[in-house]
Amino acid sequence: MIYTLTANPSLDYIMRVDHFETGETNRARECELYPGGKGINVSTILGRLGHENTALGFVAGFSGQELVRMLADRSFEKDFTDCAGYTRINVKLKSGKETEINGCGLELNPSNVEKLESRIRGLNGNDVLILSGSIPAGLDSMFYRHLLDLLDENVLSVVDATGDLLLNTLERHPFLIKPNQDELEALFDQKLEFVEDLARAARKLQDMGAKNVLVSRGAKGALLAGMDGAFYTASCPQGKLVNSVGSGDSMVAGFTAGYLESKNLEKALALGICCGSATAFCKDLAEYADIERLQTQSPVEIHRFTL
C-alpha cells in the first residue's frame, strides 16, 4: 500500500479579480474552493492512475470537515486525525499576478502525533510512504526525519519538502526527493543556470543520502539524478499553462507509480513528466484521460548523460 502524509492540509479559496487595487473594495468575478495539500494531491493522482493508496494527515474544525467532505468521491482511502483549531484556509488572489495568503495551521497535541506515529510504525516492506509539504506550527524541522526513523528499513520513502525539513531526512536515505529548481538553488544558496550545475547540486544531495533526486523545472521539464549513477533530462510536452498548483505533486505521483510498475527510472520519469504537465494544462488536478492523452500525443523525450 502507498501512504501519503499531508500534515498541514488546507482549503484553497481562489478569487479572480479584474484590476485588483490595494486599499479599495474589490469584487471577485469568479470564486472557487478546492481541497489543498501536497500529499492529498499525490493521493488523488495515484488513485487516478489506478494505485490504491491511503492519505494520512491532520484535520480540524468546520474547515477540516469540509475538506474531508470534498474528498469523499476521490478514489483513495482517508485516514485523517481530528485535532483542535481549524484546518487552514489559503486565499489565492488572481489578478494579473497571483497573490497568496496562507492561513494559520491547526493545533496539534501529543496524542495527535502519537496516533500518526503508531500508524507509521505499522508499515511494512511492501509499503511506500510519501511525505509532502509543510508541517503545522509546533512541530520542528526534524519531524519528517523522526517519522522515517520509525519505518521498517524496507519501506520506500519519498520526501517532497523544503529547507531543513528536507535536509534532515537525507541520512535516512529516502528513495526519492523532489525539489524544484528554485528550492534546489535555495538549498545551496546559488544560481544554477545550466543543466550541469543542476546535476552537480543534485549529486551533492545524493552524497548526503538521497537515492534519487528529481528536480522539476516547470516548462523546461525535469532533471533526475538516478541511483544508477546517471543523470536524465526530460522535456516538457507542449501545452497551455492553466494552473501550476499541484503540478509538482502530480510529478511525484507519476514517478512513484511509474517506478512501482516498471522498476525503470526512465519510464518512471516519463510518467512523472506526463502527470505534472497534464495537471499544469488543466484547471484542477489532471484526470486519467488528460494524462493518457499527453502520453499518446506528446511522448516525453529523455536524454541520459554522465558527468
186-238 tens-digit pLDDT: 999 999 989 999 999 999 999 999 999 999 999 899 999 999 999 999 998 98
17, part of any domain: no
Beta-carbon count within 10 A of 107 CB: 16
DSSP designation for 245: T
The answer to whether 41 and 250 are in contact (CB under 8 A) is: yes
The answer to whether 161 and 141 are in contact (CB under 8 A) is: no
1, part of any domain: no
In angstroms, the Cα distances linking 225 to 78, 174, 216 are: 32, 13, 12
**Catalytic (active site) residue 249:** yes
Strands across the sheet with 128-132, in order?
77-83, 53-60, 2-6, 128-132, 156-160, 176-177, 212-216, 222-225, 231-234, 302-305
90, part of any domain: no
Domain count, the chain: 1
12, part of any domain: no
207, part of any domain: yes
Choosing from 12, 127, 160, 249, which is the catalytic residue?
249
Range of the domain at 131: 38-84+111-305
19, part of any domain: no
Find the CATH number of the domain harbouring 280.
3.40.1190.20
Residue 197, classified by CB atoms within 10 Å of its CB into exposed (0-12), middle (13-18) or buried (19+), is middle
97, part of any domain: no
204: cell is: 551533492
pLDDT of residue 298: 85
275, part of any domain: yes
DSSP designation for 104: P
pLDDT of residue 161: 97
pLDDT of residue 186: 96
pTM over 0.85: yes
138-183 tens-digit pLDDT: 899 999 999 999 999 899 999 999 999 999 999 999 999 999 999 9
